[in-house]
Amino acid sequence: MFATLVAASLSTYEQFRAPLDRDERSEYYAQSKVLARLLGIDEEVLPRDYPAFSGYFEDMLQGPTLTVTETSACLAQAVLRPPIRLVPAFLLERHRLITTALLPPVLRERYRLSWDEEQERRWQTFQGRVSRALPVLPEFVRAAPGALWAEHRWKRTQRRLGASSAAAN
The pLDDT tens digits for 59-74 are 999 999 889 999 999 9
> What's the longest Cα–Cα distance across the chain?
63
- How far is the CA of 165 from the CAs of 47, 152, 154, 160, in angstroms? 34, 20, 16, 9
- Output the pLDDT for position 157: 85
The pLDDT tens digits for 121-131 are 999 999 999 99
Mean pLDDT for all residues in the chain: 89
Pairwise CA distance, residues 9 & 17, whole Å = 12
The predicted model gives 14-37 an average pLDDT of: 92
Rounded to 10 degrees, what is the CA torsion of 11, 17, 19, 23?
A: -90
- Output the pLDDT for position 166: 58
What is the DSSP-derived secondary structure letter of residue 10? H
The pLDDT tens digits for 130-169 are 999 988 988 877 777 777 777 778 888 888 887 665 566 5
- Output the pLDDT for position 165: 59
Sign, CA dihedral 98-141-35-53, equals positive
Banded model confidence at residue 79, pLDDT cuts 50, 70, 90: very high
The predicted model gives 12-31 an average pLDDT of: 93
- Output the pLDDT for position 41: 93
Domain boundaries, the chain: 2-62, 68-136, 139-169
